Structure 1
Amino acid sequence: MATTEPASAAQDETWFIYRGDGRPHDGLERLPEPPPWRRFDRSGTDRRRDRALSYRPDKNAVKMVNAAVYLRRPLLVTGRPGTGKSTLAYNVAYELGLEPVLYWPITSKSTLEQGLYRYDAIGRLHETSLRQAAAPAADAAAPDIGRFIRLGPLGTALLPRPRPRVLLIDELDKSDIDLPNDLLNVFEEGGFTIPELDRLPEEQPMVHVMTSDERARVPVERGQVRCTAFPIVIITSNGEREFPPAFLRRCIRLMIEPPTPEQLADIVEAHLGRQARERSGDIIQEFLDRQTRGDLATDQLLNAIYLATSGARPPQSDLEELREAILRPLDAAGSG
């Protein structure tokens, strides 16, 4: 007698792409479209636009951004991971029709010089040696120094231009203890000096250097870089450390609170559509309940909703286990 395969087993067969049985198959052909935020087959411009359009700032964030823009001061944005601190910068740049955001991710080893510029002295010396070796009898000219100087994100943001650039300094609280104070003079002066260009002979006043966004080389006169329109600087922090008072008083400070239920529903709709919003009320409520017991990021919610509403939905028992794993608090002990 033929046996009928249980419905749950058939559903498992439909959902599992990787089966773990060691037998090759073409299961990837059934893989649905990726979540919008994990698509890499589009241009960087399209992805930045989508990121900007999906953000929903509250009224306080809008007010503080405007204050920073009017006062030409950096905006220090503090909040839990996943609350949209970084996305705010892309939203501002998109709405104001500015050039792409300049991004400076901070680590414990980041220095002010890395943000301003980098001079590849070894590369220039190597090219000089190659020229001399190719024509030992000739008086080979030194390579153009501008080809070996690249402005960092902060340095590029401080170039003179009629409209400001948006600069995102991400997770400054990860930095060495001195970096916030090191930034003060640059923010106050609106510029900096490149000593390697300042020392050049009088007959070489102008040098064209490279920028962090790899666009056309830009002229720098006598090593001086100074903005005409102060950049819109958005600095993010997860609140893992305190900053010096001298740094804080030069910033406009914004604390981003976790999104409300309505804001979360708006975010879900912006990323996944109206139908996903209508089907995700229970997951949003579970997310909010879990937030009272630990740190959760909005992208964890989006991941859980995508699995529950995408074309190939897991069986209910698997979905509940996956939801439990995906909505695990970020500050929970252990990795599992």
Structure 2
Amino acid sequence: MTSPVPDEWHIYRGSGEPHDGIDRLPPPPPWRAFDAYGYRGTGTASRGAVYQVTPEIVQTVNAALYLRRPLLVTGPPGSGKSSLAYQVAHELRLGAVLNWPITSRSTLRDGLYAYDALGRLQDANLSRHEAPEVGRYLQLGPLGTALLPSPVPRVLLIDEIDKSDPDLPNDLLNVFEEGQFVIPELARLAETEASVRVYDTTGDTVVIDRGRVRARAFPFTVLTSNGERAFPPAFLRRCLRLDLPAPNAEQLLRIVQAHLGPEAVHQGAELIRSFVDRRETQSLSTDQLLNALFLFLRDRSDGEPFGSPELKDQMLHTVLRRLD
């Protein structure tokens, strides 16, 4: 059976015969570009630089900054919940976002620090001397790093908090309220080692005094939720809340232009209209539209839009599959 996809589309041919097709792989979409350190979305099209805000977002973010309160952001996939943290960090020059992705197994300690006691014991047995320095086996997590003393707030993203164990939101309350925590493994050494150098979540080393980490500036904390569960009132009372609906047609045009330029808005007008219509009855996210536009609007060497109608139909089914 003959494939309707043009030959130039095929990097992978499925023939099983080795070839150099990977040399023809074009640059990635701006939102999927990684730098030498593995960070995504660098350069002028960074994740924060292209984020599209609304007056409600601006008001709520400012309230969270003034009040030093976490921001609980709820909305459907693709509404920009996680990207908001990157936009604030980008605009206010607050450095790299500290990202804590939540799973059903996540615990408060995972966010604060990790201690490899077994590794330390094994190294001590191999060397047949006293146990190595504890700091070499202890690393702060994203939340622990965000609470390190800093003249300006760090930006912490606690992503998909609604996927957590039911106890985690309540476990976070004391940390949110006090802005500090104790590392028992270091506190026990306070009499003999008042200060211990450990690693933070970025791989840098920091000094912990008497096992206590105390924030000087409360981190700007964004917790995201897809709205799949309710949270206890005590947790909600300590957060400011922001509900993000899916972008409307006008916002979608601004998002497409920010990521792919004005030509994408013009050349992809039909696809954008089709996406808006389909979204009325199907669950679709904004990044699916961006993926489709990136594929279809690549230019051939002769300047014509990349791809045939057959390719577009085939790839629409692949890229724009409904999420529900």
TM-score normalised per structure 1? 0.88
Paired position in structure 2 for 1:211: 200
Kindly tell me the number of residue pairs found equivalent between the two proteins.
Answer: 316
Q: Does 1:200 align with 2:189?
A: yes
1:40 to 26, 34, 51: 34
State the alpha-carbon separation in 1 of the partners of residues 56 and 20 from structure 2. 50
Question: SS in structure 2 opposite 1:103?
Answer: strand
Paired position in structure 2 for 1:158: 147
Q: Which amino acid aligns with 2:95?
A: E
State the alpha-carbon separation in 2 of the partners of residues 80 and 18 from structure 1. 34
CA positional deviation for 1:42: 5.2
Paired position in structure 2 for 1:300: 288
What does 1:136-147 correspond to in 2, within 5 Å? 140-147=129-136
CA positional deviation for 1:320: 1.9
Q: Which amino acid aligns with 1:225?
A: V
Identity of aligned residues (%): 55
Answer with 39-48 or 322-331: which moved more: 39-48
State the alpha-carbon separation in 1 of the partners of residues 316 and 263 from structure 2. 19
What does 1:42-191 correspond to in 2, within 5 Å? 43-44=37-38, 47-48=41-42, 50-132=46-128, 140-191=129-180
CA positional deviation for 1:48: 4.6
Q: Which amino acid aligns with 1:170?
A: D
TM-score normalised per structure 2? 0.91
Look at both structures and tell me which one has the larger radius of gyration over its CA atoms. 1
Question: SS in structure 1 opposite 2:275?
Answer: helix
Q: Does 1:282 align with 2:240?
A: no
State the alpha-carbon separation in 1 of the partners of residues 233 and 145 from structure 2. 27
CA positional deviation for 1:33: 2.7
Question: SS in structure 2 opposite 1:311?
Answer: coil
Q: Does 1:318 align with 2:311?
A: yes
**RMSD between aligned residues:** 2.0
Q: Which runs of 5+ in 1 are unaligned?
A: 1-7, 133-139, 332-336
Q: In 1, are the aligned partners of 2:190 and 2:210 still within 8 Å (CA)?
A: no
State the alpha-carbon separation in 2 of the partners of residues 299 and 74 from structure 1. 26
- CA distance 1:23–1:154, shift in 2 (3 Å): closer
Q: In 2, are the aligned partners of 1:32 and 1:311 still within 8 Å (CA)?
A: no
Q: In 2, are the aligned partners of 1:192 and 1:225 still within 8 Å (CA)?
A: yes
Q: Which amino acid aligns with 2:8?
A: T
CA positional deviation for 1:154: 0.3
Q: In 2, are the aligned partners of 1:276 and 1:305 still within 8 Å (CA)?
A: yes
Q: Does 1:329 align with 2:318?
A: no
State the alpha-carbon separation in 1 of the partners of residues 217 and 27 from structure 2. 42
2:279 to 291, 309, 313: 291
Q: In 1, are the aligned partners of 2:98 and 2:155 still within 8 Å (CA)?
A: yes
State the alpha-carbon separation in 1 of the partners of residues 295 and 317 from structure 2. 12
Q: In 2, are the aligned partners of 1:153 and 1:167 still within 8 Å (CA)?
A: yes
1:20-45 Cα distance to aligned partner (Å, 9 max, x none): 45555544444433222223355556
Q: In 2, are the aligned partners of 1:48 and 1:90 still within 8 Å (CA)?
A: no
1:66-109 Cα distance to aligned partner (Å, 9 max, x none): 11111000000000011111111111001001120000000000
Paired position in structure 2 for 1:15: 9
1:134-181 Cα distance to aligned partner (Å, 9 max, x none): xxxxxx443111111111100010011111100000000100011000
Q: Which amino acid aligns with 2:320?
A: L
State the alpha-carbon separation in 2 of the partners of residues 146 and 43 from structure 1. 24
State the alpha-carbon separation in 1 of the partners of residues 283 and 3 from structure 2. 35
Question: SS in structure 1 opposite 2:270?
Answer: helix
State the alpha-carbon separation in 1 of the partners of residues 89 and 40 from structure 2. 13
- CA distance 1:48–1:89, shift in 2 (3 Å): farther
- CA distance 1:197–1:17, shift in 2 (3 Å): closer
Answer with 231-240 or 314-323: which moved more: 314-323
Q: In 2, are the aligned partners of 1:32 and 1:310 still within 8 Å (CA)?
A: no
Question: SS in structure 1 opposite 2:99?
Answer: strand
State the alpha-carbon separation in 2 of the partners of residues 9 and 321 from structure 1. 11
Q: Does 1:252 align with 2:240?
A: yes
